[in-house]
Amino acid sequence: MSIKRWITISVGVIGICVASVTQAEDSTHIAQLQTDAPAVRAWLTPDSMSIGDWFRVRVEIDKDVMQQVDFPVFGDHRMTDRIEVISESQVDTLKRDGRKITLAKEYIMTTFDEGMYNLGPFPVLYADKNIVDTLWSADSLRMLVTTFDIDTTKQQIFDIKPQFDVPLKFGEISGYILCGLLLVLLAVGIYYLIQRKRQGKPLLGKEKPELPGHVVAIMELEKLHTQKLWQSNRHKQYYTRLTDILRKYLESRFGIQALEMTSDEILVQTQKLLLTERASGQLRDLLKLADLVKFAKLTPSAEENEEAYDKAYYFVEDTKPEAEAPADQTTTDNLSDDENNKA
């Protein structure tokens, strides 16, 4: 055999070996991909129950950290037409070993129909690179739901009982009565305070005794005198205040609505009163001078201003009610008179 032929045969054998190795590696890689897919396990707890009870479906997945899986979400809260999903837990990581991790999730379900339920393998969505597939658990899920056996031949059926008439107890309504009384008292108190405020009385405490009209007038005149209005050329304000004090005094002393009357109307009304000539003249002169100052812009002299104040002061003093003697003093005076007469 020549060297050239031997080389040709050797190259052919090497090519066949390389092709065989490559095909074996591809087969191994495909098998590895199938072997490395996430493993899904699912089971029921318990696997039999009575209608209306709850049971748990636990799902665990072993997968690579780079692989993406997604547990099913039951948006309508139903796994099937007859099985309701009560709640779902969050996805939990049970363990981690290098690149391998184990995920778990639980579903709580119930049903109200008896029978044997064959739920089949549990589905999980799987995505890896360009692969999107549905993985299924290795075991099929089955649930036995039983109901209660009722023997109608042995159990007597009774009609619906009527309502019981329970006697009403005071303790049951005492709280409502107390609240009602408190509300009534509160309403009465609020009404009382509102009425006192409208009448200008103090809300709490005793009402201060009302001062006599002549005492109030004298106090207001003394207050006006200390303000020194005409001394600062405020003559109109001075006479307006002076006549207002007299108008209020006439209303309090004689019942004349002087605040709503003109000066002439006031003089007509005072003519009906038993006033002295001095008092009538003081009031007439003061009102006429005040009208000239307020409406004709008259500027009176300092003597006229002082005289106007004196007329107002003495008008009040001359027309105030006479002080009544106490009853004890009157009795003592009468006894003294009798003794003097006997003597």
Question: b/e map of 154-172 (b: 16 or more CB within 10 Å)?
Answer: eeeeeeeeeeeeeeeeeee
Residue reference for tokens 């004709």: 296
Question: b/e map of 127-144 (b: 16 or more CB within 10 Å)?
Answer: ebeeeeeebebeeebebe
Whole-number pLDDT of residue 321: 85
The three-point CA angle 128-129-130 to 5° equals 105
Q: CA 44 to CA 175: how far, in whole Å?
A: 53
> How many other C-beta atoms can be found within 10 angstroms of the C-beta atom of residue 247?
19
pTM metric for this prediction: 0.40
Q: CA 46 to CA 57: how far, in whole Å?
A: 9
Q: Are 71 and 42 in contact (CB under 8 A)?
A: no
Whole-number pLDDT of residue 28: 47
Q: CA 219 to CA 320: how far, in whole Å?
A: 14
| Domain assignments of the chain as residue spans, ordered by start | 39-146, 213-319
Residue of 200, 249, 199, 251 lying closest to 220 (CA atoms): 249
Whole-number pLDDT of residue 208: 67
Q: Are 111 and 83 in contact (CB under 8 A)?
A: yes
Q: Are 57 and 40 in contact (CB under 8 A)?
A: no
Q: CA 64 to CA 289: how far, in whole Å?
A: 114
Whole-number pLDDT of residue 7: 52
What stretches in the chain show pLDDT beneath 70?
A: 1-35, 152, 203-208, 323-343
CATH topology of domain 39-146: Immunoglobulin-like (2.60.40)
The string of pLDDT tens digits covering residues 283-322 is 899 899 989 988 988 888 989 989 989 988 998 988 888 7
Whole-number pLDDT of residue 130: 78
Angle between helix 302-319 and 235-254 (nearest 10):
10
Residue of 142, 92, 106 lying closest to 121 (CA atoms): 142
Name, in order, each residue with C-beta under 8 angstroms of 247's C-beta and a sequence gap of 6 or more.
258, 259, 261, 266
Q: CA 66 to CA 47: how far, in whole Å?
A: 34
